[in-house]
């Protein structure tokens, strides 16, 4: 590959001048013709600055890590797309890693940071009790943005507007006439889980609807945990006429177990889930969801990571575009209003 001295030689100027012209140094006053010669020479040689050299010189890698608990998750693909687009438009590369690289005994992130290979980390904490030593990550002033999990604390955070999502789901059910509404929620030792449950309780109370503890579970967001939640709720006799499921993965488990238990959806129980995915049309019944702005979450996280003062802590909520209800066939009128 051509290097900067090749461009300088072809243009008949110094390497310094080439660097400054190409980087758009505003303090540079060079004649228009010189500038053009430099640009033409760079183009002719298809010059691209060597990343390692620039990185060594500037101490910036222009690379960030995206660390997620589960590449399989319903939310990952859209999140990653949003982050990737924003990163690409800024000339950043995104390195992919699963959260297990962060658990005790793995020095993956420590190495990546120590090697100065990444400038920052976008981190989605796993649901449930954390096995990640967050403190030890805050080494050497590393920029960290925690997404879709924490919403306060010593790290910058970006979260979805969970309250708006939950409200959209509940209001859809209320509009259909439901008054007995349960929640299949996330772990209460994770911030999203607490946030979504608190939002749910607030909306239900505000509407003057009954809150029944046996209609509320907090097993978590996986399909298996959704199954467990449905089993527990069904075992309690008086089951609600509708469920809000705080995550689509769990909702698939809820659907499967409802079917196994002979509960017809939506005839016996209506189900609405947070997060829309492309295959929601192929579940049975096709599941009604609330589409959350995951792509924007990813993009915002990249922006927060790179913009502004690295030492300032910000806590953002992505509230635009608003959650959108996607009505499919898992929600209907409540049982008692049928005949």
Partner DNA sequence: CTGAAAGCGCTTACAG
Q: Which one among 46, 104, 238, 320 touches a second copy, defined by CB under 8 A?
A: 46
CA distance readout (Å), 94 to 71, 86, 132, 200, 283: 14, 10, 21, 35, 32
Q: Which one among 24, 26, 29, 105 touches DNA, defined by CB under 7 A?
A: 29
Measured CA to CA, the distance from residue 96 to residue 205 in angstroms comes to 42
288: CB partners within 8 A, 6+ apart: 172, 270, 271, 272, 273, 325, 326, 327, 328, 329, 330, 331
Measured CA to CA, the distance from residue 305 to residue 156 in angstroms comes to 8
Does residue 8 interact with a second copy by CB under 8 A? Answer: no
Q: Which one among 19, 34, 55, 317 touches a second copy, defined by CB under 8 A?
A: 55
Q: Which one among 41, 43, 44, 50 touches DNA, defined by CB under 7 A?
A: 50
Q: Which one among 32, 262, 282, 312 touches a second copy, defined by CB under 8 A?
A: 282
Largest CA distance in the chain: 88
Q: Which is nearer to a second copy, 1 or 238 (CB)?
A: 1
Q: Taking the complex as a whole, how short is the minimal distance between the CB of residue 283 and DNA, in angstroms?
A: 51
Q: Which one among 27, 29, 33, 115 touches a second copy, defined by CB under 8 A?
A: 115
Cβ–Cβ under 8 Å, residues 288 and 263: no
What angle (nearest 5°) sits at the alpha carbon of residue 171, between those of residues 242 and 325? Answer: 90
Touching DNA, residues 53-112 (CB under 7 A): 53-54, 56-59
Does residue 33 interact with DNA by CB under 7 A? Answer: no
Give the number of other CB atoms < 10 A from CB of residue 74. Answer: 25
Measured CA to CA, the distance from residue 131 to residue 125 in angstroms comes to 9
Does residue 84 interact with a second copy by CB under 8 A? Answer: yes
Measured CA to CA, the distance from residue 37 to residue 33 in angstroms comes to 6
Cβ–Cβ under 8 Å, residues 83 and 115: no
Q: Taking the complex as a whole, how short is the minimal distance between the CB of residue 22 and DNA, in angstroms?
A: 7
Residues that bind DNA (CB under 7 A): 1-5, 13-17, 19-20, 22-23, 25, 28-31, 34, 47, 49-50, 53-54, 56-59
Can you give the binding site for a second copy, defined by CB under 8 A?
A: 1, 46, 48-53, 55-56, 61, 63, 66, 71-72, 76-78, 80-81, 84, 88, 91, 93-98, 101, 108, 110-112, 114-117, 140, 223, 249, 252-253, 255-256, 259, 278-279, 281-286
């Amino acid at each position: 590959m051509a290097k900067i001295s090749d461009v300088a030689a072809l243009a008949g100027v110094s390497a310094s001048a080439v660097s400054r012209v190409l980087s758009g140094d505003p303090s540079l006053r060079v004649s228009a013709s010189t500038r053009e010669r430099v640009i033409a020479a760079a183009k002719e040689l298809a010059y691209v600055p060597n990343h390692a050299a620039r990185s060594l010189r500037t101490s910036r890698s222009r690379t960030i890590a995206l660390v997620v608990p589960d590449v399989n998750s319903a939310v990952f693909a859209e999140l990653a797309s949003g982050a990737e687009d924003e990163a690409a438009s800024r000339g950043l590369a995104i390195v992919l890693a699963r959260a297990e690289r962060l658990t005790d005994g793995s020095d993956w992130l420590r190495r990546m940071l120590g090697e100065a290979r990444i400038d920052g980390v976008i981190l989605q904490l796993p649901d449930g009790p954390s096995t990640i030593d967050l403190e030890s990550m805050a080494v050497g002033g590393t920029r960290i943005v925690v997404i879709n999990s924490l919403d306060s604390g010593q790290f910058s955070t970006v979260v979805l507007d969970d309250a708006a999502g939950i409200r959209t789901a509940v209001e859809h059910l209320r509009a259909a006439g439901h008054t007995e509404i349960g929640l299949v929620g996330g772990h209460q030792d994770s911030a999203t889980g607490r946030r979504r449950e608190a939002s749910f309780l607030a909306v239900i109370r505000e509407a003057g609807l009954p809150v029944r503890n046996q209609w509320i579970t907090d097993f978590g967001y996986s399909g298996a945990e959704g199954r467990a939640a449905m089993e527990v709720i069904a075992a309690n006799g008086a089951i609600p006429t509708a469920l809000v499921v705080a995550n689509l993965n769990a909702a698939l488990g809820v659907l499967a177990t409802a079917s196994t238990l002979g509960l017809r959806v939506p005839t016996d129980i209506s189900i609405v889930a947070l997060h829309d995915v492309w295959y929601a049309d192929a579940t049975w019944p096709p599941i009604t969801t609330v589409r959350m702005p995951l792509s924007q979450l990813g993009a915002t996280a990249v922006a927060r990571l790179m913009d502004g003062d690295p030492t300032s802590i910000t806590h953002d909520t992505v509230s635009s575009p608003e959650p959108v209800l996607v009505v499919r066939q898992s929600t209907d009128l409540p049982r008692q209003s049928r005949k």
